[in-house]
Structure 1
């Protein structure tokens, strides 16, 4: 799914001074209309056209006073002085004046996805405690849908702010997120629209339940992880087994990383973060620490060992953050095809 190309355009109150340059340009082109704007739009490249399409699609109605203020900055004549209407239909009509159908469909497909994704991007930017307070008062299935749409690290942060029993219930319901019933989707839409944001829900997701839960478990603290996995094991042993197969924590490094790939991981990591991860990791997974040190050059391993021994004790939170960054880098390298993770047997 494509990420948003820009934030939704706000509806102006009066002057139009709150608009960015690209948004003002979109207002001018919309005021001109497809016929007059098309000669100008032919000089835009596809990236600029995408930017225009996003801006014009987010417009509702722009008052004449705002149009006049915006156009005066461009030193362009206003014409008949009417208000202008935006929306995806307006964007499509103007793009059709200068592009073929295939190009228009490609750009507008991206724009539609961008507009729909804005809900989750805005929720992802909200403080975790605020999102958690909102979810705590909703149905656990609603909370599960919301968490499934956020990045794993952000969802994990929200999860840790939820009351323990409620959080356990939410994790169990994540197993049903990809198979949402229509009534559940409607519930989520109504709740989000009413109580948190005013954009549409896009609830599609191709991740499996185990992937969703494992992503959360990879990013929560060790205490929360142990509690959640224990509860999941009691309630759904089969799902618990699959989650643990997909999960990848610091302790899994020794079992899931090829020795030949350790050097590349070390080169891609910030050294201070790596040392903090190794220092904190030695408390519960000395095997992974020694695996990392034994698969780099002897000289580098000796230097790392000396620096680790000289480091003061690492706070639990700082250590888990560094370990999470290390795991994130390993996963990123795997996604880029620069290493292959060993999948454990179940």
Structure 2
């Protein structure tokens, strides 16, 4: 039994208000995932409930009947997400039901636009009305203004449509786009690749390339630099470099940044502090409790930016390979 399945059973044993209060603490994607699992639940056995939460199984032996379903998932999402629930409900519904044009969810918006741009406005309207609003808006933006108006007017006036017509349009579009959907692409190049190449290049080559690029695209250079050195690479520093970095970072920054760090990096930072400072930092991290990963990563990036500035001023030298550089006399 997966954790997601356990979570779905647990939530369905609770009153909607309590379950929704728990779900409100989750990220929107997590709400969608657990709601999909709830929607897939049919009859939950008492044995499953006992595995998830024994006290409920003992006090509510009949709780296993009729606990899941799409209506229950919709109710929980509405209470958890409020006005933001519609998109999540639509995603869950399309994952559970055979929704028309659901195959387009895996196709790039630009490809969809290419295949429907010359269709009759009524056909485009039919297709867009069955796609998530965010997707439809992007495709609509790619149409000529006159066609945009014609499509929007038809969507507004659209009422019930014969299922046979919907199926025929869907089948025809899926057949035409079959070559696009069957293609597989391999990722090659990109910013990640540049960062990896420059990471193993000599320092003079790296600086020359980045300085030249910064004249034309400074934002791209900053993105590359962020990928070239990551927070965990601090663990490859010698004690001298660690101590230099420590002088420029407040303990409160370390307490958050180290929450998701490896044991090796934590110990290296602690080792280069005074015993009192290290003990205070450990206590602060324990007292802090659970924190959002996004907040941790943001603080780690702030420290990485400080490290890069120290490198630029020559106060430290970054060697991400972890290998000692050969000396000559």
Same fold (TM over 0.5): no
More relative contact order in 1 or in 2 (CA 8 Å, sep 6+)? Answer: 1
- The structure that has the greater radius of gyration is 2
Normalised to the residue count of structure 2, the TM-score between the two structures is: 0.33
